[in-house]
Amino acid sequence: MQPQRTANDYKSDLKPVWCPGCGDFGVLKGVYEAMLNLQLDPDKVAIVSGIGCSGRLPYFTKCYSFHSVHGRSLPTAMGIKLANPELTVLAAGGDGDGFAIGGGHIPHVARKNIDITYIVMDNEIYGLTKGQVAPTSPLSQSYSTAPFGNLESGIDPVALVLSYGATYVARGFSGDPGMLAELIQKGIEHKGFSFIHVLSPCPTFNKVVTFKSIRAKTQAVHGHDPTDLRKALDLALDSNAIHLGVFYQMEKKSYNDRWQEVWDQASQKPGNLEDLLQRYA
């Protein structure tokens, strides 16, 4: 019988190098706990990241890790999952990596329903480069590159990904790693694309969004039917509170499942190569 794994089985020898008080510590803890709860074999897990403070997350695990280029964690993760479906694949990144330079990939991974778990750590700024306006920065807020107020509206990641057709959408808070671990665990267990938006403060460069301010504005989702997409969107767009928990979960066939079905059908009646080539004659 396989001995019970402990948290240390998932931790690498590298010590996290984020700033003191960074929300990303809580996210890393949530990832460790989720893997521990599921007793995943670290040799069967791949974690991919993009560029940004969050890009370091895979270094601190004993799983296969890949630090990809800016905005490209999702296509890389997709490649890993499709090449080796036996692996549990996680992608991790920040709001800038996910919704600016990499924003074009999310709708396509969502609609394909690739079986990967995507964790976005949102601090509403570019933290690694010292606090510039990012795609989730709210309108009118001041930043190093917008001292008199941001001219552009911030993206709502949960509402956006719901509308893209993701089959698991949740929001967590790095100040509550226990709840976050649960959301990540459910996301890993979900067969299809799971998206977890994590409110993860940057105490160094964003003095407005703090653990305290997030606690004051957030509340756990209660009595919500996660199969109701309209209600999920209502929750996401609620201007009175920021909700934490599972917004939406729908079982749909993943890309790999559909591919297998199509292949099973197609292989019953294989085409004739000569006939097919004649089309181009």
| CA 215/CA 15 separation, integer angstroms | 27
Cβ proximity to other proteins: between 84 and 144 the closer is: 144
33-to-18, 60, 198, 203, 250 alpha-carbon distances in Å: 19, 13, 15, 24, 24
How many CB atoms are closer than 10 A to CB 44? 12
Which listed residue (27, 51, 63, 183) binds other proteins by CB under 8 A?
A: 51
Q: Which 56-75 residues touch other proteins, going by CB under 8 A?
A: 67, 69-71
How many CB atoms are closer than 10 A to CB 249? 18
Query: What's the closest the beta carbon of residue 132 comes to other proteins, in angstroms?
Result: 4
Q: Does 145 bind other proteins (CB under 8 A)?
A: yes
Which listed residue (9, 79, 85, 100) binds other proteins by CB under 8 A?
A: 100
Query: What's the closest the beta carbon of residue 255 comes to other proteins, in angstroms?
Result: 26
Q: Does 103 bind other proteins (CB under 8 A)?
A: yes
User: Under a CB-based contact definition with an 8 Å cutoff, are residues 48 and 68 in contact?
Assistant: yes
Of 12-20, 31-39, 100-108, 167-175, the window that binds other proteins (rule: CB under 8 A) is 100-108
| CA 103/CA 135 separation, integer angstroms | 10
Which listed residue (1, 6, 83, 148) binds other proteins by CB under 8 A?
A: 148
Of 6-14, 141-149, 169-177, 210-218, the window that binds other proteins (rule: CB under 8 A) is 141-149
Q: Does 52 bind other proteins (CB under 8 A)?
A: yes
Which listed residue (130, 207, 217, 258) binds other proteins by CB under 8 A?
A: 130
Of 8-16, 115-123, 144-152, 211-219, the window that binds other proteins (rule: CB under 8 A) is 144-152
CA 114: distance to chain centroid?
12
Q: Does 129 bind other proteins (CB under 8 A)?
A: yes
The DSSP result for 140-190, as a single string, is: T--BTTBTT---SPPP-HHHHHHHHT-SEEEEEETT-HHHHHHHHHHHHHS
Kindly report the backbone phi and psi dihedral angles of residue 72, in degrees, each rounded to the nearest multiple of 5, phi listed first. Answer: -110, 20
Query: What's the closest the beta carbon of residue 4 comes to other proteins, in angstroms?
Result: 35
Q: Does 128 bind other proteins (CB under 8 A)?
A: yes
- Exposed, middle or buried by CB within 10 Å (0-12, 13-18, 19+), for 251? exposed
- Sites of contact with other proteins (CB under 8 A): 51-52, 67, 69-71, 96, 100-101, 103, 126, 128-130, 132-133, 135, 144-145, 147-148
